[in-house]
Amino acid sequence: MTLDETLHALRARLSEALSPQHLELVDESHGHRVPRGLLTHLRVIVVAPCFSGRPRIARHRLVYAALGDAMQAGLHAVAVEALTPEEWSAQGDAARSTAPPCHGGSLRDKGKEAGV
């Protein structure tokens, strides 16, 4: 499956499960040490009424449930901004946070760099 097809499939899953008013999927994989064309790091900004009255962790669980098996299929990290329409209106562009910098690789890779 191509990167575009993967993003389209994830968008469809999230749309079906959450009926969002706003949905953004941002591929942040290019900022990490991964081969080109792989989706490993994803930012999800989703605005949906179903988040009303739910704590942040419950909102994230809804998003992860909608993503299904994507985490086992190579998606390494998902940054989630799950907001109600009211929160989105109040925060506007401030709701779009950026992911912390990735130090890349795995512990195994860090051992190689250290000569271990």
Residue 22 has pLDDT above 90, yes or no: yes
Exposure of 64 by Cβ count < 10 A (0-12 exposed, 13-18 middle, 19+ buried)?
middle
**Would you place residue 111 in the very low, low, confident or very high pLDDT band (cuts 50, 70, 90)?**
very low
Whole-number pLDDT of residue 51: 98
Q: What is the pLDDT of residues 30-45, one digit of tens each?
A: 777 766 777 888 899 9
**Would you place residue 70 in the very low, low, confident or very high pLDDT band (cuts 50, 70, 90)?**
confident
Domain 3-95+104-113, what architecture? 2-Layer Sandwich (3.30)
Percentage, residues of the chain above pLDDT 90 = 49
pTM: 0.75
Whole-number pLDDT of residue 55: 98
Whole-number pLDDT of residue 76: 81
Report whether 48 contacts 37 (CB < 8 A): no
Is the CA virtual torsion 100, 103, 107, 108 positive or negative? positive
Whole-number pLDDT of residue 110: 45
**Mean pLDDT computed over 20-24:** 96
| All structural domains of the chain with their residue ranges | 3-95+104-113
